Structures are given as structure tokens and as C-alpha cells.
Structure 1
């Protein structure tokens, strides 16, 4: 019944010209916001902001033919691939998702690049989409036990740490397992926009992904990396994210 109703409503809405529909939508939101206390109006608008942001992400993937356009527009894949290639291989890309970044790295170096992700579905997509003699993917939970054969010179953690609850212990474990010389890290920045702390203050979901345990302020990330035994070589704020190159504080034997 609900699907039939949605289909009927969608058919009716498509009859309304785009410009007129935009006017009606703006009017509806404006009228709904009136007559309330500012805090309630803000909660309503910020929830709508979250909904629209999520929809934009879904349609950005469709517009990008299966790849989110943010990768192209922000240049983060090329930037991180260059950083990882400069750091040297073998390279382990933890939380590789569908393998986009690992594949870009593998095109820049001759040594082995391994992508690991907790989702078998994502690994299947990675294997079906990206091929290379020095590129491989496998499914594993990086927080539980040893990952692969070990001995990776560089570890990439692109939008991964925020999904892990015990981050310092996780980073120390990676150091012990692989004795890497470099870490390439990317996390969302809590201070990316004034609406983030406002949502937090008003008890509206502020995280860019509800599976995040944290979205770091820069000092929080730096403190966690130091607690993990890492020394920061380079840190920058780009596109609402914190991008870091770090190394074990005691060198490759840490």
C-alpha cells in the first residue's frame, strides 16, 4: 500500500514544473518554520540539511557513474596516491572500500599494493573493477588479528580511524604487525563547518556518517596519534578533512 501511495505521489509531483516545484518547496519549509521557537526551527532545518546532504551524496555517485564526484573535485585520490607512492611500498590500504585509492596507488609504483576491507561485497566490487599485477584485495576485519603477511612499508588509513573505537590500540597494533615507516591518514574534521557544533549542541545528528565513533578536532587527532606512538611529519586541513603523514616515533623499529 505504501509503495503504491509513493508511486502515485511521485507521478503527481512530476507533473509540476521544476521551477514551480522549487517555489512550493521553499514556501512549505518557510511556513513550517514559522511560529516556533528558534531552537525548534533550527532543529527542523538542520535535520532537513542532513537529509538533503545524504541525498546529494547518493545522486553524486549516480552522476559520477558509480564513483562519488567528490573524489574528482577534491583531488584527494590523486593526492593520497602520490603521498603513498612517495612513501614507498609495499603498501597496505586499510578500509579500502571498493579499491579506488589502492588502484590509483598501484599505477604509480611497482611494489605490492594490498587493499583490505571488512565488507566482502566491497572487495568483490574491487576485484571486479580494478586489476593489476601488483594489486590485490582481501576481506578481513583490520581490528582483529594480523592482516596479511605483514611487512608493509606504508599503511594508508583513508576515512578509517573515525570508524574505530579503540584507535590508539589499533594504531599500535598496526605498528607491531607491520613495522611501517609511514602512515597516510585522512579523517573528517569536526570544525569543517559552523553547523556541525550547532547540530551537536542542539542534539541533531552532526556526524557525516552515523557509524563514526568520533569526528576529530585537529588537536584531538594530534593527541591520539602521539598516544599511539606516532610522530606527525605533515598535517593539513583540506575540504573539511584532516590529512596527515606520520611515522612511528621510534623509527621503523617502533
Structure 2
């Protein structure tokens, strides 16, 4: 047994198999995610465990008009619509947009099938708050995009100009940082352009003319309340 352990955990094995094991760790995370979704009726259990919709709902006020970018199937839009006066949801994916229209329509909700990078925000009435839930990490020109929102959204006369932002943090655990150092797949999703450090997040918000009011880490993600400077 001791010989077996030496062979498996020894320096030679570590040099030979470290990258393989790190890649396997990433792959198994993906497989576990797929299995857990299939064993929960097609709904990923993370939605109930993380419950990010509640955080967004807790930080909007009754009477607000909210603009949700990257509204996906509309579940978060529907949740916020129980509190906000009106919610607009922009979604670039036609399938997601159609699903949202079918499953999560309400009288005080309007879904828009368009590219948020190029959308004419002057079409919308006064907005109190913009919500971005797992959106920024998919965008390469994030600062340009945020500046576009800051400058082109028609803000309400209440003057709040708030942003509620949720993004993944690379510092969720040590192994993600180590994988990046080793050049092994470290992102939670291959479509991510980045996964944030706190320093990077504050820097990008500042460059986009946003002031960070509150910033917290939950389940390996950054949840932040920001406002236009």
C-alpha cells in the first residue's frame, strides 16, 4: 500500500500527471453540472442554492423602472417585475427571447430581441436601474459597453442611475488561479472573456465612470451595487 501511494503521489507521478489531473478536475465539474441538472427536472440546482434573483429583487425599489440586459429565459425579469413598476429585458439569443415571451410574460414586462451592444437606448423611457447578471464576463470591450450604457440610457428624473452587477470571480478558490498559472482550462465557461479579481472589477468600474457602492463575494461570484459618478 505504501509503495502504491508513493507511485501515485510521488514526485515523478506529479510531474507526469499534474496537467492531466487538473484538466480532469475541470471536466468533472462540467459533468457534475450536467448530471445535477438532468436529475433535477432540467433545472440546475444552483439557481435555488445561489438564489441570485432574490439578491437583485432585494436591491430594487417599488416603483422603479428596470432594464435587464441578457435576460435569457426571463426568470429574473419576472421576479423583479413583482416589485418594480416595469422591467425591460434585452436578449440577443432568439431562442431565449422566444422562451421568455412564452413562459415569463407579464403586463409590466417587455422583452426586446436585440444586441445590447448596439441597441438604441433612447427608445426606452426613464430607467432607474440597469441589471447585469453574468453578462459582463462574456464581453471583450466591457468598459466601452458600460460607458455606452452610462451615457446612452435615458435615466429617470429620480437621478439614481444604479447598476446591479453579478460576475464570476477567479479567486473563488485556489485551484482556479493555479490552473490559470499552469495554462490549464480555468474558466467556468469557455465563452467567458474573463473571470474577475476584485482589483480588476473595481478598476473596470472606475474606468467606466461607475462608483462601487457595495461589493460582496457569494458562491464564488462578485455581487455589486454601482452608480454613475
Compute the TM-score of the two structures, normalised by the length of structure 2. Answer: 0.87
Three-state SS of the structure 2 residue aligned to 1:86 is: coil
Kept after mapping to 1: 8 A contact 2:122/2:154: no
After TM superposition, give the deviation of residue 95 of structure 1 in Å. Answer: 0.8
Picking from 143, 156, 168, the partner of 2:131 is 156
Larger Rg computed on CA atoms: 1
- CA separation in 1, counterparts of 2:16 and 2:76? 41
Q: Does 1:79 align with 2:59?
A: no
- CA separation in 2, counterparts of 1:78 and 1:113? 15
**What number of residue pairs does the alignment pair up?**
217
Picking from 84, 104, 113, the partner of 2:87 is 113
- CA separation in 1, counterparts of 2:226 and 2:144? 16
Q: Does 1:136 align with 2:110?
A: yes
- Listed one character per residue, the Cα deviations across residues 76-111 of structure 1 (whole Å, up to 9, x for unaligned) are 11111221x2285211110111111111101123x1
Distance 1:88 1:182, change over 3 A: farther
- CA separation in 1, counterparts of 2:26 and 2:63? 39
Kept after mapping to 2: 8 A contact 1:93/1:114: yes
Distance 1:87 1:44, change over 3 A: farther
- CA separation in 2, counterparts of 1:133 and 1:199? 47
Counterpart of 2:200?
220
| Pairwise CA RMSD | 2.0
Gaps (5+ residues) in structure 1? Answer: 1-30, 250-254
After TM superposition, give the deviation of residue 136 of structure 1 in Å. Answer: 2.0
Picking from 49, 68, 73, the partner of 2:44 is 68
Kept after mapping to 2: 8 A contact 1:33/1:41: no
Kept after mapping to 1: 8 A contact 2:65/2:128: yes
Counterpart of 1:21?
none
Distance 1:164 1:87, change over 3 A: farther
Distance 1:216 1:79, change over 3 A: same
Query: Which stretch of the first structure deviates more once superposed, 216-225 or 130-139?
Result: 130-139
1:1-254 residue pairs with structure 2 within 5 A?
36-83=12-59, 85-86=60-61, 89-109=64-84, 111-147=85-121, 149-150=123-124, 151-180=126-155, 181-249=161-229
After TM superposition, give the deviation of residue 59 of structure 1 in Å. Answer: 2.6
